[in-house]
């Protein structure tokens, strides 16, 4: 490992774009061109004026269309990314007690936020081994069920289904940060579907977006108007009211908004979710069948139904140093294939978000074969 062999990949093994990271992830070059073409019309202008408000309106309308949201659902947004939304949820969505499915780094963080909140009861946390996901169960004490559509740290995705037998009042809140826009979801099955735009939406970080059902909006209003102390920055009612006016509570990053809107338009103009999910499915078929057929690697996630179609985790046999492969790829301009640090496996993690060309995934697999042949 100390002296990595100098391996220069032949031209045909270099993907058209070398960015395979899970976030911030590949931003399409066309988006950057489009941004440059706005010249002095958006960046550097007030977010309280029509130009930026129209952009926010377009994002809200575009996401409503992309996710086929029923009448009454609202697209709400604010600053702070998905991580801020966990605190928002502990202040404004969980009434007394939540249930969390914990199967990796991100799902454990929301569970911890709920556990630490002094105004809430101890949450019910259902865990499973990394590389799998647990199942929820109905519990009459639970008023919010917390799911993660795609656990980015392990490459496990779960189907979003409201658990059978839950109370009519209970909410289902889904962290969809890396899944939204690349995995199928049915709006009947959630009350809150929240994400940040630096994954499938090929934008930058710092923003959160929540698709909210009328029931979730009603819950928010009840809690915020109750005795509970809610800091203004985490006040979801404030965010809902600002979003209805196509603005955020405080200043947003205009570049992030522009790139998010550009990506939503790209998705819609190519056919919406059929297009995006189709690309992710193709990439997933390519990489998992490559790993299964290879004699030095295999998919980390044993159950094919739980294998993510947006983030692949590939284990390597011990005689092959995955980190060395990642370093050689990086020297050839192919970046961010390193595994999630805390998982601690001899693994590569590869994003397959909609922006990433399925042909590039295929090229990447061939490049890895080439490197393995050279270093062994
Ligand atoms: C990336 C990610 C987050 C964190 O998003 P931030 O915008 O950095 O707060 C949360 N959950 C999941 C599933 C993620 O993939």
pLDDT over 80 (residue 186): yes
Confidence of residue 2 (pLDDT cuts 50, 70, 90): low
Nearest residue (CA) to ligand 1, atom 13:
177
Predicted confidence at residue 312, as pLDDT, reads: 98
Same topology for domains 11-27+272-375 and 42-269, yes or no? no
pLDDT over 90 (residue 170): yes
What is the C-alpha separation between 85 and 301, in angstroms, rounded? 28
Average predicted confidence (pLDDT) for the chain? 97
Select from 102, 217, 177 the least CA-distant residue to 113. 102
Collect all residues with Cβ–Cβ distance below 8 Å to 189 and sequence separation of at least 6: 160, 161, 162, 172
**What separation in Å is there between the alpha carbon of 255 and the centre of ligand 1?**
19
pLDDT over 90 (residue 29): yes
**What separation in Å is there between the alpha carbon of 140 and the centre of ligand 1?**
29
Domain ranges of the chain: 11-27+272-375, 42-269
Q: Which residues line ligand 1 (CB under 6 A)?
A: 23, 81-83, 106, 148, 152, 175, 177-178, 196, 205
Which pLDDT tens digit goes with each residue over 191-221?
999 999 999 999 999 999 999 999 999 999 9
pLDDT over 60 (residue 100): yes
124 forms beta bridges with 99
Say what the pTM is.
Answer: 0.98
Which pLDDT tens digit goes with each residue over 222-260?
999 999 999 999 999 999 999 999 999 999 999 999 999
What is the C-alpha separation between 277 and 239, in angstroms, rounded? 30
* E strands, the chain, in order: 74-79, 98-102, 124-127, 144-148, 150-151, 156-157, 171-175, 192-195, 207-212, 297-299, 311-316, 347-351
Mean pLDDT of 270-281: 98
Burial class (CB in 10 A: 0-12, 13-18, 19+), 74: middle
Q: Which residue has the tokens 């920055």?
A: 233
Q: Which residues of 141-159 are buried (b: 16+ CB within 10 A; e: fewer)?
A: ebbbbbbbbbbbbbbbbbe
Atom of ligand 1 nearest to the CA of 153: 15
Predicted confidence at residue 195, as pLDDT, reads: 98
- With the most atoms of ligand 1 within 8 angstroms of its CB, the residue from 22, 79, 82 to mutate is 82
Top-level CATH class of 42-269?
alpha beta
- With the most atoms of ligand 1 within 8 angstroms of its CB, the residue from 103, 104, 196, 209 to mutate is 196
Which pLDDT tens digit goes with each residue over 321-366?
999 999 999 999 999 999 998 999 999 999 999 999 999 999 999 9
Atom of ligand 1 nearest to the CA of 150: 13
CA distances from 223 to 9, 88, 370 (A): 57, 12, 57
Confidence of residue 4 (pLDDT cuts 50, 70, 90): confident
**What separation in Å is there between the alpha carbon of 362 and the centre of ligand 1?**
26
Nearest residue (CA) to ligand 1, atom 2:
177
Atom of ligand 1 nearest to the CA of 83: 9
Query: Phi and psi (nearest 5°) for 312?
Result: -95, 135
In CATH terms, the fold of domain 11-27+272-375 is 3.90.1150
């Amino acid at each position: 490992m100390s002296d990595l062999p100098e391996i220069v990949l032949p031209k045909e093994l270099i993907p058209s774009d070398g960015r395979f990271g899970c976030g911030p992830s590949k931003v399409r070059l066309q988006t950057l061109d489009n941004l440059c073409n706005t010249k002095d019309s958006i960046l550097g202008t007030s977010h309280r004026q029509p130009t930026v408000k129209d952009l926010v309106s377009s994002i809200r309308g575009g996401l409503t269309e992309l996710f086929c949201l029923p009448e009454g659902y609202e697209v709400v947004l604010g600053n702070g990314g998905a991580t801020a939304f966990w605190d928002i949820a502990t202040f404004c969505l969980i009434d007394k007690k939540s249930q969390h499915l914990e199967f990796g780094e991100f799902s454990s963080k929301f569970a911890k936020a709920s556990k630490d909140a002094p105004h809430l009861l101890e949450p019910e946390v259902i865990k499973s081994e990394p590389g799998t996901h647990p199942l929820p169960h109905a519990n009459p004490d639970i008023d919010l069920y917390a799911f993660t559509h795609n656990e980015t740290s392990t490459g496990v995705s779960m189907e979003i289904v409201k658990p059978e037998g839950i109370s009519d009042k209970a909410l289902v809140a889904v962290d969809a940060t890396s899944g939204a826009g690349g995995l199928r979801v049915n709006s009947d099955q959630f009350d809150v579907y929240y994400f940040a735009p630096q994954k499938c939406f090929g934008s930058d970080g710092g923003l959160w977006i929540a698709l909210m059902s009328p029931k979730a909006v009603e819950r928010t209003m009840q809690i915020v108007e109750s005795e509970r102390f809610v800091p203004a920055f985490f006040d979801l009612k404030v965010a809902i009211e600002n979003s209805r006016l196509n603005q955020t509570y405080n200043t947003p990053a205009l570049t992030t908004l522009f790139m998010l809107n550009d990506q939503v338009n790209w998705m819609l103009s190519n056919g919406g979710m059929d297009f995006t999910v189709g690309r992710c499915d193709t990439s997933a078929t390519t990489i998992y069948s490559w790993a299964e057929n290879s004699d030095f690697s295999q998919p980390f996630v044993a159950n094919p139904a739980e294998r993510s179609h947006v983030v692949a985790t590939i284990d390597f046999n011990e005689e092959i140093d995955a980190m060395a492969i990642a370093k050689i790829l990086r020297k050839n301009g192919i970046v961010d294939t390193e595994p999630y640090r805390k998982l601690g496996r001899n693994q590569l993690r590869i994003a397959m978000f909609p922006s990433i060309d399925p042909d590039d995934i295929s090229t990447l697999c061939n490049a890895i074969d080439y490197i393995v042949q050279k270093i062994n």
